[in-house]
Each structure stands twice: as structure tokens, then as C-alpha cells.
Amino acid sequence: MTVTLKRNDEVMSVTLTPELAGGKYRAGMWVRDSSAGIGTLTFYDEKSGGFGGLGHPICDSDTKQPLPLSDGNVGEVEITGTEKSIDGDPGELIGHFTSSAATGVLTLNTGCGVFGRMFRCPSKHEALPLGYKQQAHTGRAYILTTLDKDKPKEYEIEIENVDLSEDAAHSMIIRVNDPELLERAGGIVQGMSGSPIIQDGRLIGAVTHVFTEDPTRGYAVFAERMYTAMKESAG
């Protein structure tokens, strides 16, 4: 049979000849048709209904490459606990979906996060102005994240480095110095990606990655970059 596929943005047609293996003819194709996990919503734009989250792409767990997105849903999750990070072994948020009903749709999976539209405002948290990348600076800031059944809470961090170059792989380097967050989570854990970073009363960025060998530190992306991607996803 002739198969049309897309590889690295190139569409091509190839001839597929099944091989006899174990008494059956097999195509040798490995298909992953869905993925699910816990990530953090970074912001919701009340005017458009659009949202941005995660701060990095949803990737295949084996190839580590971004998953092409045909469609996707957003659902509510209850965080029930935290597996603490230690040096060399990042922990993770533990939780479960509270309902099979979708609260929004995913329309874009990009290098700076996932984007789409929510059916309703996800929370009543105080609205914050968007901080532009030129307003980000080293020094004190806060991340807003959820560690258990409690509501999202602010934890103090320090922005150690800001990279304004257009081709920067990461916008900022952050360090957790909040005693409670260090005690309960060891710093940054998986599932915390997308947690908003607030500096000088503005939404300045989002947590993206944890340093495996030092979970008190990690990378972050500018909120301005995510907001621009959200507007592009809405057309």
C-alpha cells in the first residue's frame, strides 16, 4: 500500500510492504494516537476566552519530540499530593481528573506552551496585567502553584538570569527560595510547568523545566511570548 506521512514538516509518500512475523503480516508501524497528563494553566484571557499553559510543548514520552495536535481537551484536575524532588530525581504533582467533561479545547501545541479556548473562566483569581519581557529583571518574584487540595498559593522565588535575545532557548533561570515550597516539594516538580511567575504585580512568565541535578532551580518562559502565541492560535 502507499502511505502518505508528514515528517519534520515534510509531506511524503512511501510504499509500505507488510512483513510476515509471528504468523501474521505486520506493518511495523508504531502509533501513538493520544496523550494525557497534568499541567498547569498559566493564564486566561477573559475578553477572548483564550488560554495558555504548560510553558513547553506536550512531547512524546519515548521520542521526546512535540506531538502533532489534531484536537485536544482541557479538564479539571484535583491535586492530591506531591512527590518531593531530590537531586537527580525530579518529583511530581499527584492528582486525578475530577470529571470526564471538557472545560476547554486545545488548538495549538508549540515550543512555548499549549493554547486554546476555555468554555468559562477557570477561577476567580485576581486579574493581573501582562508584563513585557523588557520589564523582567533579576531579583525577587513569586510563582503561583497548587501543591494539594488547597487553592493556588504564592511562593517566593528569585529570578537569577533574564535573556532577552530572540533566539534564546530559555527566557529566564529561576531559583526557589521559599521555605515551605522547599520543604514540601523540594523545589520544582513535574506538573508545575506553566505555574505563573509574578513580579512587580505583573504576570511576567511561567515555569517550564526543572534542573534535574538541582530541583531548586529551573527555566522559565516570558508570558509575553506565550500571550503572542495564544493570539496566533485564535487566528
Would you say 93 and 127 are in contact if contact means Cβ atoms under 8 Å apart?
Answer: no
Active site residue 178: yes
From residue 223, alpha-carbon distances to 146, 206, 228 in Å are: 19, 6, 9
Of the listed 56, 171, 195, 209, which one is catalytic? 56
Of the listed 85, 178, 195, 233, which one is catalytic? 178
Kindly report the three-state secondary structure assignment for every residue of 91-157: CEEEEEECCCCCCEEEEEEECCEEEEEECCCCCCCCCCCECCHHHCCCEEEEEEECCCCCCCEEEEE
Active site residue 193: yes
Of the listed 193, 195, 209, 233, which one is catalytic? 193
Active site residue 56: yes
Residue positions annotated with a catalytic role: 56, 178, 193
